[in-house]
């Protein structure tokens, strides 16, 4: 298991958070096998892998039941372990090959409309907070990409752009819009130097009050504070999160006529299938407009 996790880290460049999730999933799988008296991966049967999946969905006294999406991720980790072991010659064959993970239901991303985004971005705040929110919506960056952003990743030439460092070590170049650029320039010139002086020096763009890199949790707090100020939900299933701005970025691009392949590149999705979830949002909106405006719609 440790060799497999090392492979995921070194060969595939998975993030620390993803590796931690895989480790938890595999630890639980190891517990299941140990309870069944199995101490060697070569002794595992397909039926035992299937039984583990059933337990994930049903739950146990030690572990609550997992949703289809969480169980699918857990089974993916288990299947990956068996596939790796077979490829490395540690076991004779991959017994998990025929075990299919549950298919999670497709959930449409929740996007804010343009008026809601405009009100959110207009909330008075520090130069840093304004720059952060404009950056998240203006580039569609993940929160990890925003807090990991370095000053050298910004290009304020005529064709302003930013280099984002995404999942799996992949980088992409994303255009920087006028509003995000203006907010960042104001912060870098007037706000960041004061914060830098309080710390030991860091290339990070977004800093905390001690001059160190802004944490993910602090970025969430900044967004929640602004959302609450304009009456947007900050709790419950529809709570505004940094990913909400990313969803809104993608949806508004598609609403404006952007090609799904272009949006895929801007978001840094490895597969266009992920991006196509946003087209479902756009189609729903088109249907809504048609239903309310066309004389023969109803």
Q: Are 46 and 64 in contact (CB under 8 A)?
A: no
Q: Write the pLDDT tens digit of every residue in 160-175.
A: 999 999 887 889 999 9
Among the options 28, 52, 142, 192, which is catalytic? Answer: 142
- Any catalytic annotation for residue 243? yes
Single out the catalytic residue among 110, 167, 216, 285: 167
Q: Which domains, ranges and CATH numbers included, belong to the chain?
A: 2-87 (1.10.150.130), 114-292 (1.10.443.10)
CA–CA separation, 269 and 71 (whole Å): 22
Query: What pLDDT score was predicted for residue 136?
Result: 96
pLDDT of residue 106: 64
The question of whether 7 is a catalytic residue gets the answer no
Q: Is 255 left (phi over 0), alpha (psi -120 to 50) or beta?
A: alpha
Sites in the chain below the pLDDT cut of 50:
none
The answer to whether residues 129 and 226 touch, using CB atoms and an 8 Å cutoff, is yes
Instruction: Examine the residue annotation and report whether 269 is marked as an active-site residue of this protein.
Output: yes
pLDDT for residue 127? 97
The question of whether 4 is a catalytic residue gets the answer no
The conformational region for residue 257 under phi > 0 = left, psi -120 to 50 = alpha, else beta, is left
Query: Residue 292 has what pLDDT?
Result: 76
pLDDT confidence of residue 114:
93
- The answer to whether 82 is a known catalytic residue is no
- Considering the candidates 198, 243, 261, 287, report the single residue annotated as catalytic: 243
What pLDDT is stored for residue 39 in this prediction? 86
Please, what is the Cα angle at 70 between 57 and 241, to 5 degrees?
A: 140
Q: Is 106 a catalytic residue?
A: no
**CA pseudo-torsion sign 212, 217, 223, 224:** negative
């Amino acid at each position: 298991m440790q060799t497999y996790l090392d492979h995921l880290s070194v060969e595939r460049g998975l993030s620390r958070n993803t590796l931690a999730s895989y480790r938890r999933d595999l630890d639980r799988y190891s517990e299941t096998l140990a309870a069944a008296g199995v101490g060697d991966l070569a002794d595992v049967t397909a039926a035992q892998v299937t039984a583990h999946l059933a337990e994930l969905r049903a739950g146990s006294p030690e572990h609550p039941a997992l949703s289809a999406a969480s169980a699918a991720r857990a089974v993916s980790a288990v299947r990956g372990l068996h596939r790796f072991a077979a490829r490395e010659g540690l076991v004779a064959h991959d017994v998990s090959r025929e075990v299919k993970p549950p298919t999670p239901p497709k959930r449409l991303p929740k996007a804010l409309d343009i008026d809601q985004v405009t009100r959110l971005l207009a909330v008075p705040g520090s130069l840093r907070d304004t720059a952060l929110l404009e950056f998240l919506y203006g580039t569609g960056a993940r929160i990890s990409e925003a807090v990991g952003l370095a000053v050298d990743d910004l290009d304020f030439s005529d064709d302003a752009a930013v280099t984002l460092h995404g999942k799996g070590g992949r980088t992409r170049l994303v255009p920087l819009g006028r509003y995000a650029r203006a907010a960042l320039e104001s912060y870098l010139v007037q706000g960041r130097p004061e914060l830098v002086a309080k710390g030991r020096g860091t290339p990070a763009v977004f800093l905390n009050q001690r001059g160190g890199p802004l944490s993910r949790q602090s970025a969430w707090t900044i967004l929640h504070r602004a959302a609450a100020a304009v009456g947007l939900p900050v709790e419950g299933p529809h709570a505004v999160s940094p990913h909400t701005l990313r969803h809104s970025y993608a949806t508004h691009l598609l609403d404006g006529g952007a090609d799904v392949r272009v949006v895929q590149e801007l978001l840094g999705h490895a597969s266009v299938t992920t991006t196509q979830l946003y087209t479902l949002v756009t189609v729903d909106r088109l249907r809504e407009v048609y239903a309310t405006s066309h004389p023969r719609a109803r």
